[in-house]
């Protein structure tokens, strides 16, 4: 569960991170993207390989990160629900899904 998020900082299960992350089950990994503010299917490869029911993507504090239509179509084609929002709202949504026992993964951009 994500305990706290603020610009440039997130806490997951008692550990603090100051870089973009993915959360899949009990595993937290650094998340790097080839084009920074543009998410490609390759950027989501590790998370998508696990085939979560829902992938929640936090697009940054101000929503500056973009998910192109081709990436959205690819995720949809895998039968994975894609939920996107500014990072604070994405964290809330992810936590609610987890609390409801849903199989959800999270990928979040911590800054802009």
**What is residue 35's predicted lDDT score, i.e. its pLDDT?**
92
Domain count, the chain: 1
What's the token pair of residue 88? 């604070």
Task: Calculate ∠ Cα 54-63-26, nearest 5°.
Answer: 35
For the entire predicted model, the pTM comes to 0.96
Strand partners, 81: 54
- Residue-number span of the structural domain to which 62 is assigned: 2-108
Tell me, what CATH number does 46's domain have? 3.40.1230.10
- The residue count of the chain comes to 112
Query: How far is 9 from 100, CA to CA, in rounded Å?
Result: 25
Residue 89 has pLDDT above 90, yes or no: yes
Kindly provide the residue ranges of all beta strands, DSSP E only, lying in the chain, ordered along the sequence.
Answer: 2-6, 9-12, 15-17, 21-24, 27-30, 54-58, 81-85, 104-108
Query: How far is 112 from 27, CA to CA, in rounded Å?
Result: 24
Of the pLDDT bands very low, low, confident and very high (cuts 50, 70, 90), residue 36 is confident
Of the pLDDT bands very low, low, confident and very high (cuts 50, 70, 90), residue 4 is very high
């Amino acid at each position: 569960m994500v305990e706290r998020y603020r610009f440039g900082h997130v806490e997951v299960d008692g550990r603090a991170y100051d870089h973009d992350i993915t959360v899949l089950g009990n595993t937290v990994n650094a998340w790097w993207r080839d084009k920074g503010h543009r998410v490609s299917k390759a950027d989501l490869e590790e998370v998508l390989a696990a085939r979560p029911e829902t992938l929640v993507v936090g697009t940054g504090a101000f929503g500056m990160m973009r998910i192109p239509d081709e990436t959205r179509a690819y995720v949809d084609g895998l039968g994975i629900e894609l939920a996107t929002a500014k990072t604070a709202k994405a964290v809330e949504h992810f936590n609610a899904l987890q609390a409801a026992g849903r199989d959800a993964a999270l990928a979040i951009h911590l800054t802009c």
